[in-house]
Amino acid sequence: MSIPQHYTPALPTELPGYMGKLLRVDLSSGRMWEEPLNADYAHDFVGGSGLGARYLADMADGNTDPLGPDNPLIFMTGPLVGTTTPAAGRFSVVARSPATGLTGEANSGGYWGPELKRTGYDGITLSGQAAGPVWLEIKEGAVPTLHDAGDLWGLDMYETQHAIKTLMGVKRVRIACIGQGGENQVLFAGVMNDHGRAAARTGLGAVMGSKRLKAIAVSGHAKVTIANPEANKTINREVTAHVIEDIQVQMFRIGGTLIGMDMGPISGDVSVRYYSSNELGGIEDHINSGNLNEHYLKRHVPCFRCPVACGREIELAGRVEGHVDGPEYETTVAFGPLIGSDSLEDAAYAGHLCNRYGLDTISCGSTIAFAYSLFEAGIIDLKTTGGLELRWGDAKPAFALIEQIAYRRGFGDLLAQGAARVGEVLGVPDLAVHVNKLELPFHEVRASAGQGLVYAVAPRGADHMSGDIYHWGLGHECSEIGIICGDPFEETRYEVQIVANIMAFRAFTNSAILCHFETIPIPDLLALWASITGWQWSPRELTRTGERILHLKRVLNFRFGLTRSDDTLPKPLLKAFEDGPTPGYAPDIEQLLTYYYDVQDWDPANGKPNPERLNALGLDAFVDELWGERLLADHVSR
């Protein structure tokens, strides 16, 4: 296939911590050009998901088809990425989500993000749709090139990475790609990189597949220019020492993210049998970090400059030849407790299949568990499932469903659309557990009022990365920005303010970008920030930036069709458990929302941020769009 190409370079914006330019690619025409980074956008929205959302605001509207050529697909790093900051090796992918219709974003670790900056770019924005499968090659000092990917289309993500490395013949190259799930536009397909790392949520692998873009390979050696190298060396030593000594970091180093199965059952944080219980009944005796370490672990796998090394490489003898990427907490719960299974090996194998095909394990596992619950309730039968008997405790039918989902075959074609659409098609929409069509992660709202509130209002739907209340509840505090541990069942305005503070902080860290497992003292984080960017921020400026990012995403979601009624939790989660670690509690979501709207200064009638709030955050350019003349006049008169 002949791929016409045209490339236009540009001078970068000089900004410490940034490379100063983006690569723009029109896949329809093959035209590629460099664009100087918008310095005002960078200052106000930082990088990662925040800066990606700001560029998305310029490029997408309510008529943008998430799987159409006009939906931009944005890869974005941040000012901490590629520096000597520990655990700052992440990148974000942003677009309008095909799963939710709202602002879509996903975040991944590994090495791809730092390598992209080493090519000289802070990010890439792709638009259009290629005539046939292509992959993009970006090397420092060379003209970016689109290659025919006809021979790669149909390969899984491991095969794709190996094939491109062989084609390029470069010693160090990092690849972000899709598997068959993205190719077939599964609505929860992710973008995969560095073997089992994934920008998984909101279906952005499907957007990549719709553009017929199989992969982006990056390789470079460019250095990130920072504001004060000497100060950075000093503060980096202190930050690294603190991270290494932090007790939670030590726990994650020893047990990986699966350490959550050692602690979560005690507090009732783990969802069981499709959110119908948080009582594990002995599953925790089989699925835990000790079992993984003793019977399957081969080595710890760190991301770029990471002292935590929470990643795992394991061996599944008799199932997969060689070593595979080990399961994270969310993956293990999805294919373990959520379907009533106590087999760690089965959960690990299911996670491996999702990685191969490029599927979000949270949404895939939750949607499959929904099918299990419907089968157990007699709502669907063997005819619906194609002969698969979906019984609690048996994970093996899930293996077949994962493959069916990836290829959109049989029952898997329906499941590939996510739990909300499965419920609608089968006539039981109220039984599907999701917020704004994004399936819930596996941290129980009946163990934490704050976590339930986060799921109800998070920009991309049910999202633990927008506010990890369960993490802060383990004892970390940041009093400088108003994060202080409280009673997980308390539903007061004071506790809701803490939730809002956590969400603002996470909006900042998801944009900077910084791993959530690093809890750096705020004074040290600000000193590190100043040494890299030159921006002397106070704690209030940090949280204000996070608030600005959150509110921009809120504005975008209203542009994409969000309404006040969408701020809610699914009905099954509003029923308290009779037994288990948290009997008798379910969140009063309407009371929590009343406090949250008050804290955020959102209109209680329509859920929109009030004009005064937008103006105070520097988002005055969006006031007219969100309110219009009539609504604004009504608001002023009130």
Higher pLDDT among residues 471 and 109, named by residue? 109
DSSP assignment, residue 326? P
pLDDT band at 638 (very low <50, low <70, confident <90, very high): low
State the chain's mean pLDDT as an integer: 96
pLDDT band at 472 (very low <50, low <70, confident <90, very high): confident
pLDDT band at 631 (very low <50, low <70, confident <90, very high): low
Residue 205 CA to residue 531 CA, distance in Å, equals 35
CATH topology of domain 247-439: 1.10.569
Mean pLDDT over 27-53 rounds to 98
- pLDDT, tens digit, for every residue of 421-468? 999 999 999 999 999 999 999 999 999 999 999 999 999 999 999 999
- pLDDT, tens digit, for every residue of 201-242? 999 999 999 999 999 999 999 999 999 999 999 999 999 998
pLDDT band at 633 (very low <50, low <70, confident <90, very high): low
Beta strands in 56-156 (DSSP E): 73-76, 91-96, 103-108, 123-127, 134-139, 145-148
- pLDDT, tens digit, for every residue of 177-197? 999 999 999 999 999 999 889
Q: How many CB atoms sit inside 10 A of residue 476's CB?
A: 14
Residue 243: predicted pLDDT: 87
Q: Where are the domains of the chain?
A: 6-219, 247-439, 445-518+538-637
Structure tokens at 63: 């008529």
Query: Residue 630 above 90 pLDDT?
Result: no
- pLDDT, tens digit, for every residue of 378-430? 999 999 999 999 999 999 999 999 999 999 999 999 999 999 999 999 999 99
CA atoms within 13 A on the CB side of 539: 13
In CATH, the number for domain 445-518+538-637 is 1.10.599.10
CATH class of 6-219: alpha beta
- pLDDT, tens digit, for every residue of 331-390? 999 999 999 999 999 999 999 999 999 999 999 999 999 999 999 999 999 999 999 999
Its pTM stands at 0.97
Cα torsion at 232, 238, 239, 242 (round to 10°)? 180
Query: Is residue 367 within 8 Å of residue 418, measured between CB atoms?
Result: yes
Query: Residue 35 above 90 pLDDT?
Result: yes
Q: Which long-range contacts (CB under 8 A, 24 or more apart) does 603-607 make?
A: 603/635, 605/564, 606/563, 606/564, 606/631, 607/562, 607/563, 607/564, 607/567
Rg (CA), the chain: 23
Where do we find the tokens 């995403």? 553
